[in-house]
Each structure stands twice: as C-alpha cells, then as structure tokens.
A and B are shown apart, each in its own frame.
Chain A
Amino acid sequence: MNPMIKQLIRKDWQINRNIMAIYIGVMLIANVMLLADPNNIVFGMGLILILTILFIMCIHLTTSNVISEYSQKTVTFIMSLPVSARQYAIAKLAANLSMFCVPWLMALVSSWLIILSSDSLPNGLTALATLGLVEILLSYCLIMMMGIVTESQHGAIGAMAIANLGFQAFLWGMLKIPAIAQHRDSNELAWNSTELSILAIQLVVIIGLLGTTLLIQQRKTNFI
C-alpha cells in the first residue's frame, strides 16, 4: 500500500481512537447481553443496542470523518500534503470502512456464535442475520459515498434517509420471500440459492458504490 495512504488511514484512526474505543466497548457489552436467553428482555435490548451502534456509526463516521473535513477546512491541510485526490479517496474509504467493520464484524461473528450455540434459536437464522448485517454495511457505503462525493451534510442526510427506508424495505421484503422465511425457521445451516443470490447482489452493490466513489473523486477538478 502507498505510504501516504497508510499515513492518512492511520491519521483517521488516531483522530477517532476515543470514540472507536467507546463503540467497540459498547458493542462488547451488547454482545454479552446476547448471551442471555432469547426470550429474556436483556437479549432483545442487546439486539437493539447492536443495531443502534451500527446505525449511529453510519451517521457519525460519515459526519465526523468526511463532512467535517470539508466544513472545518481540514481537507485543505490534507490536500496540501503530497497526496493526490485518488489517494485521498482511497484512504478515506479504507479508513472509514475499517473503522465501521470492526464493530460490524463483532456483531456478525457474535450473531453466528450465539445462534449456533443456542438451542432455542434455529441455525437457519444465521443467513437472515448475515443478510441484515450486510444490508447495514451497504447502507453505510451509500451514506459514506454520498458524503465523499457531495462533500455536504445535505447529501449525506439524503443518503441516510434512503438507506433507512431501504433497510426497512429490505427486512420486510426478506420476510416475504418464502425460501428465506422457511430457512429462518429451520435448523439447516447451508444457505439456499435465494439467500446466496441476495448476498451476491449486496456485495456487487457495495463494490459498485466504492468503485463509483473512486471514479467520481478521480474526475473532480476542484478539491477545496
């Protein structure tokens, strides 16, 4: 990796180290809460806490690491360093994705472990949990892309609204698909073709969003 990109990623991590420690800490607590019986209120609260942390991070990381670089004019300082617009965009995407992915992976792995180790939760639920979490990752990529591309709060807020509606529609749609609904209630671990197709589409959209962000940034002629 280009040393300048590495420096910029490290810089974003250092700037956000305190808040990241809080996010990871709260995510750990939420994961511990999931160890409770699925019928217990603590389990439900843990689930809500995990989703809340991820949604807050979608908004907060984009606002503090992307939008505020423009509004606080720190982007002028960064772009005066030996860095190209493309390198800046790659670093910004990599830093933000890695920051989001630490708690996100914690949520993903713990959801699998808890479902698979619990007698009261069917193993088939792992597919739905995974698709739901990948959808949140997709939403984050969309919000981050709009933040980077539009450099404005309005763009990011618009993307947040779309992502929020999209997530609700996604969950509603998932439960309406018979293949997913049946698998959710079964103890079968292997994914069916419908779930694999949806995952593939989600991954293609995520890659598309990241690629589009780089492409648009590369074609910009004004950076400040």
Chain B
Amino acid sequence: MNSHAVELHNVGKDYKYFRLNDISLNLPTGSITGFIGVNGAGKSTTIRILLGLVHQDRGSVQVLGQSMPDQQVLAKREIGYVSEDMRLYPKANLAWHMQFIQAIYPNWDQAYAEQLLKRFDLRAEQKIKGLSHGQRVKATLLLALAHRPKLLVLDEPTTGLDPVARQEVLAALMEVLADEQRTILFSSHNTLDVEQISDHVAFIDQGSIIESTSKEDLLDLWRRLRVRITPGQSVSELPHIVQQQGNGQLQSFITNRYSPALHQTYEQAGLEIQAIEYLTLEEIFVASIQARREGKTL
C-alpha cells in the first residue's frame, strides 16, 4: 500500500490574476489534513487539480497511486468530494441522487446511507430545491460518504452552516475517522473546524504552501513567551522569533521552534521568561501568514 494517498510535486498553475507556485504536498494514507488558507489563497485550485477538474501547468500529481489528470477516472472511483460550491439537481430529490450514485459506485453502502439519512435528519423524498444550505451540504456529504471512498476531499464544507449543522457535519467526519485507511483532506478558512478534526495541517497563502506538518508538532513548537527585558536590551538577534509585541520592558514573543534548549538560549540572553503559552491554530496561522508577508523565513 502506498504510504501517501496524495502526492503533489512542484505543481503549478497560472491564471491571469493568480499563480499556484509549484507547490509540493503529501497526504499520508489514513491522515486527516486540515488545509487552511484565506479566501483566494489557492485551496480550491489545489483541490481541483488533485481531482483532475483543473489540469496543472507544471508538476506531477499522484492520487491513490493514479497519475492525474490522465488517470482521473480510476482515481475518482475511490474519491468522495464535497465542495461548498457544489450543487445537486434542484428538481430531483435525495432518493433519486442516492440511486444515481449507487448505480455508479459498486461500494455503495445502502445501510450506511440510511443511517446517515437519520443522523443528518434528512428526508430522502424531499426535493433538493426545498433543502436549506445546511441540509444540502449534509445531503452531499451523505452521497460522498456512503460509497465508502478511500479519499474524502472536503472543500470548505462548513462554510455558511449554522452552528448546529456545522457540529453535525464535523461529528459525522469524526465518525469516519474510525476507518484508518481513509484519508481526508479538509479545506477551510475556519481554523476551529480544522483544529477539531485534523491530525495534519497545511497552510497555503498566495499560492504557496507555507507550512505542512502534524497538528501536534505545530501546536507544540509554536509558543507565546511573555518576557521581561532589561531597558536598552536588543532582542533582534534572538533566534526563531516570528512575532514580537510590546515596546516596554514587558513584551511577548511568538516562536515557532520552542524547545527547552531555545528557552535556555533566551534566558542566557538575559530575558526573564514570565509565562509560556500555547497558541491556537488560528493564532499560529495568522502569525505565520503575517511573518511570511513581512518577508521572514520561518
């Protein structure tokens, strides 16, 4: 079995006003990767490329061992895709969609589909045009999950959902995590959602992947240090400081390489470390975007 469900190597795509900058990204098989970026960062373009819906100008894409876009038919037999801008046929009902998908995928699990129907509180006979946005997302998710895909690609599925629908969608996703062979790519600009369900995280900004690592490592390495510095002391030479706030003696630093050794280095430099705090994924995301835009190398 391939250790990576998705392998993007130096993948580039040029549009008139946007460029995907030769990105490389690997998704380990069985992982849940949160793909975070602001609107227009390149999340959807990347996802469309890995589904073969958009052809890359450069680089190679392997999905479930298939070369994309050439082998997209084979790859898509094992992919479930839910996108915020995906729509079902408004005049048809959910039962019709379920039959349609069932006829296409031999792995369709009717019992699981009915279980999801109940869980999502959906009625199969209801026409799609009568569903709310949250119900439409859940219906699309049902269709994607019930054929038991090896790779589940979710492009901003929780965008625009009310808090209850969002939690239901996230809970369903948490449930499918039980299958260790299923790989999930979950794109969002909502870091809270990603933080809840993912074990890997990739940040994308202005068409470039700026971070791709395990969530635990990320949360462990990024810290905020509240320090007291002596008047006149320069901190610009200190290593691995991503962001500095405050002007007086009491300042706070954000570092992306926290370790006991770094702690010691700062103390030896004369800093009095008063507190060490973990950062949320959102804080890490914002700090890394700002640092990169300021030209800092992380």
* Chain A residues with a Cβ under 8 A of chain B: 4, 7, 11, 14-15, 72-74, 76-77, 79-84, 87, 221-224
Q: A76-B85, A76-B87 are in contact. Are A84 and B72 (CB under 8 A)?
A: yes
What residue of chain A has the Cβ atom nearest to residue B75's Cβ?
A: A82
Please tell me if the beta carbons of B51 and A80 are within 8 angstroms of each other in the complex.
yes
Please tell me if the beta carbons of A80 and B55 are within 8 angstroms of each other in the complex.
no
- CB neighbours (8 Å) of A7 from chain B are 100, 103-104
Instruction: Kindly state the separation between the CA atoms of A192 and B91 in the bound complex, as whole angstroms.
Output: 49
Instruction: Kindly state the separation between the CA atoms of A88 and B101 in the bound complex, as whole angstroms.
Output: 16
Please tell me if the beta carbons of B86 and A76 are within 8 angstroms of each other in the complex.
yes
B42 CB to nearest chain A CB (Å): 15
* Chain B residues with a Cβ under 8 A of chain A: 48, 51, 53-55, 72-74, 76-77, 79, 81, 83, 85-92, 96, 100-101, 103-104, 140
Please tell me if the beta carbons of A82 and B53 are within 8 angstroms of each other in the complex.
no
Instruction: Kindly state the separation between the CA atoms of A11 and B85 in the bound complex, as whole angstroms.
Output: 21
Instruction: Kindly state the separation between the CA atoms of A81 and B79 in the bound complex, as whole angstroms.
Output: 8
Nearest first, the 4 closest Cβ-Cβ pairs linking A and B are A221-B55, A80-B81, A82-B76, A73-B87
A114 CB to nearest chain B CB (Å): 36
Task: List 19 extra interface pairs beyond A72-B90, A80-B76, CB under 8 A.
Answer: A4-B73, A4-B104, A7-B104, A15-B89, A73-B87, A74-B88, A76-B53, A77-B140, A79-B51, A79-B53, A80-B51, A80-B53, A80-B83, A80-B86, A82-B77, A83-B76, A84-B72, A222-B53, A223-B53
- CB neighbours (8 Å) of A83 from chain B are 73, 76
Instruction: Kindly state the separation between the CA atoms of A15 and B88 in the bound complex, as whole angstroms.
Output: 12
Q: A77-B88, A82-B74, A83-B73 are in contact. Are A221 and B104 (CB under 8 A)?
A: no
Please tell me if the beta carbons of B86 and A15 are within 8 angstroms of each other in the complex.
no
Instruction: Kindly state the separation between the CA atoms of A224 and B79 in the bound complex, as whole angstroms.
Output: 17
B59 CB to nearest chain A CB (Å): 14
Instruction: Kindly state the separation between the CA atoms of A4 and B76 in the bound complex, as whole angstroms.
Output: 12
Most buried by A among B53, B77, B83: B53
- CB neighbours (8 Å) of B48 from chain A are 224
Please tell me if the beta carbons of A74 and B103 are within 8 angstroms of each other in the complex.
no
Please tell me if the beta carbons of A81 and B76 are within 8 angstroms of each other in the complex.
yes
Instruction: Kindly state the separation between the CA atoms of A222 and B48 in the bound complex, as whole angstroms.
Output: 9
B57 CB to nearest chain A CB (Å): 8
Most buried by A among B55, B74, B92, B104: B104
- CB neighbours (8 Å) of A15 from chain B are 89, 91-92
B33 CB to nearest chain A CB (Å): 18
- Pairs A–B under 8 Å by Cβ, sample size 14: A7-B104, A14-B92, A15-B91, A72-B87, A76-B53, A77-B86, A77-B87, A80-B51, A80-B79, A81-B104, A82-B77, A82-B104, A83-B76, A84-B73
- CB neighbours (8 Å) of B83 from chain A are 76, 80
Instruction: Kindly state the separation between the CA atoms of A56 and B238 in the bound complex, as whole angstroms.
Output: 74
- CB neighbours (8 Å) of A84 from chain B are 72-73
Instruction: Kindly state the separation between the CA atoms of A76 and B48 in the bound complex, as whole angstroms.
Output: 10
Instruction: Kindly state the separation between the CA atoms of A76 and B55 in the bound complex, as whole angstroms.
Output: 15
A71 CB to nearest chain B CB (Å): 10
Instruction: Kindly state the separation between the CA atoms of A211 and B134 in the bound complex, as whole angstroms.
Output: 41
What residue of chain A has the Cβ atom nearest to residue B79's Cβ?
A: A80
Please tell me if the beta carbons of B100 and A11 are within 8 angstroms of each other in the complex.
yes
- CB neighbours (8 Å) of B104 from chain A are 4, 7, 81-82
